[in-house]
Amino acid sequence: MILPLQLLYHTYEHSLQMNDEVDICPHCKNAQHATLPQSFRRFLVFAIMSGFFLIFILALINIINLIQFDKSWYSLISIAIGMWGIAYVGYLCISFSLIGFLRLPGCEFVTIPHVLFRKRVHICVDTALNAVLDTLQKKTGLSFLLMKTESAQKWVLGLILQVIFLLIIASDVIGKEPKLILVGILSSVYFTYDKTVHRDSIGCTDLTGSGDYAKIIKRILSS
């Protein structure tokens, strides 16, 4: 598999000198050091976005029901946790929708600043993984080879976990309060990932799009 590291790590000017392929962002019309999402990744982005949207709606319904019919301390604490949860889930839903609809480069954590303030897309563990998937599709088209990439496996695993999460909060297996707490936990885990693994990977020049998570986590734990 050909890794697109030359695309990720060259400056725009050097890429032009080397006649490398540079992806131009459809939004800002500037070259970015991250690949544009190809059709397969856009499909996965829309699937993840839809899942977060459903989580947002279900959690919001639970919050409204608790506000109307239950004023206990447990419910109020659950509502507070749920409000944090749906706020961050809403943020993720907007970010993924922008990536999918506008076909933006970069990860979900820089999408909104990029659209609003034209903040430059950065190199991180997520853009490295996605670059492998996008570049492979450019070279081979839609094929089973795409599923052999760590990026595709991460997206599919995320979808499976999201479906399981949706089944739990859409069913009557647990009450409204635990559902809101779970949404808060989901957002907290995602937020923690952003502030640890993702942030630590920004600007790293040793990313390959394979095995990067273990490498970064090991570096964080050893520091």
pLDDT in tens, 50-101: 999 999 999 999 999 998 887 789 999 999 999 999 999 999 999 999 999 9
Mean pLDDT of the chain, nearest integer: 87
Q: In whole angstroms, give the CA distance from residue 182 to residue 82.
A: 8
Which helix (H) or strand (E) is 27 found in, with range? Answer: none
Residues with Cβ < 8 Å from 68, sequence gap 6 or more?
none
Q: Residue written as tokens 């659950």?
A: 78
Q: In whole angstroms, give the CA distance from residue 15 to residue 21.
A: 7
pLDDT band at residue 223 under the 50/70/90 scheme: confident
Q: In whole angstroms, give the CA distance from residue 26 to residue 217.
A: 33
Tokens of 178: 């635990």
Helices 150-170 and 176-193 pack at an angle, to 10 degrees, of 160
Pick the range with the lowest mean pLDDT from 39-43, 48-52, 140-144, 163-167. Answer: 140-144
* Percentage of residues in the chain having pLDDT higher than 90: 68
pLDDT for residue 19: 36
Sign for the CA dihedral angle at 157, 57, 96, 103 comes to positive
pTM of the complete model: 0.86
**Residue closest to 33 by CA, chosen among 141, 150, 126, 112:** 126
The answer to whether residue 12 scores a pLDDT higher than 60 is: no
pLDDT for residue 22: 58
pLDDT for residue 3: 44
Q: Give me the count of residues in the chain.
A: 223
* Residues facing residue 87 across a β-bridge: none
Q: Residue written as tokens 């991180």?
A: 124
The answer to whether residue 169 scores a pLDDT higher than 80 is: yes
Say how far residue 85 (Cα) sits from the centre of its chain. 16
Q: In whole angstroms, give the CA distance from residue 111 to residue 134.
A: 18
Count of structural domains within the chain: 1
Tokens of 134: 């996008």
pLDDT for residue 17: 34
Helices 73-102 and 39-69 pack at an angle, to 10 degrees, of 160
Please give the average per-residue pLDDT across 37-50, as a whole number. 96
pLDDT for residue 21: 52
Tokens of 129: 């993984």
Pick the range with the lowest mean pLDDT from 16-20, 71-75, 172-176. Answer: 16-20
Domain hosting residue 13, numbered range: 5-222
